[in-house]
Amino acid sequence: MERSILVGVGSVVIIALFFLCKPKLNHLRQHGYLGIFLGCFLGNIAGPSSFLSTLIGGRYLNPWLVGLVGALGAIMGEVLNYNAGTLGQFAIKDQSWFETVHRHVEEKGFSMIIVLTAIPNPVMNVAALVSGALHYPLLQFVLASFIGNWLQFFLTAEVGGLSRRIL
């Protein structure tokens, strides 16, 4: 029951976003994959533009490529957040969420980073901050993060593509 309510609310939010963003859709179309790349890069640093870029991009562009280009842009932001976690590890270790995420990343590593990066989170990039603070190997982090981001952006782009047929 709770899951169906969550899906319903999510659907309403996505439809509302399309109606609110409809005037800007043609503007995004002009920028194509470069706009997706930049939106995902900036979104991984400072906000929900990754989600919106891939959602709207999927409406007009190939979802597989939107996922790929979005993940490449997101990786750039992920590495900056990873470095912020490395440098600011003392500050984030005091956060209430840190211990829980730390334990999961330490125990499950690669697969946990995939899961954390596959979940849209507009507030902060928890996986990158914690991985940096733990000095998780950067190359493994980048690969796991790429996989998780690609999954997130591909699925979001698919929803955007479905909206073209529905709306």
Residue 102: the pLDDT is 73
**Reported pTM:** 0.76
Q: Give the span between the Cα atoms of 10 and 153, in whole angstroms.
A: 16
| Residues in CB range of 69: below 8 A, 6 or more apart | 33, 36, 37, 40
Q: Which of 72, 78, 63 is nearest to 159 (CA)?
A: 63
Q: Give the span between the Cα atoms of 58 and 6, in whole angstroms.
A: 22
Residue 26: the pLDDT is 52
**pLDDT (tens place) for every residue of the chain, 167 residues total:** 455 565 456 555 655 655 565 555 455 557 789 888 888 888 877 666 677 788 888 888 999 999 999 999 999 988 888 888 888 776 667 777 777 777 777 788 898 889 888 887 754 577 788 888 888 899 999 999 999 999 999 999 999 888 777 76
Residue 127: the pLDDT is 79
Length of the chain as a residue count: 167
Give the distance, in angstroms, between the CA of residue 46 and the centroid of all CA atoms in the same chain.
11
Residue 28: the pLDDT is 56
Give the distance, in angstroms, between the CA of residue 79 and the centroid of all CA atoms in the same chain.
13
Residue 21: the pLDDT is 55
Residue 19: the pLDDT is 56
Q: Which of 39, 66, 62 is nearest to 50 (CA)?
A: 39
Q: Give the span between the Cα atoms of 56 and 29, in whole angstroms.
A: 9
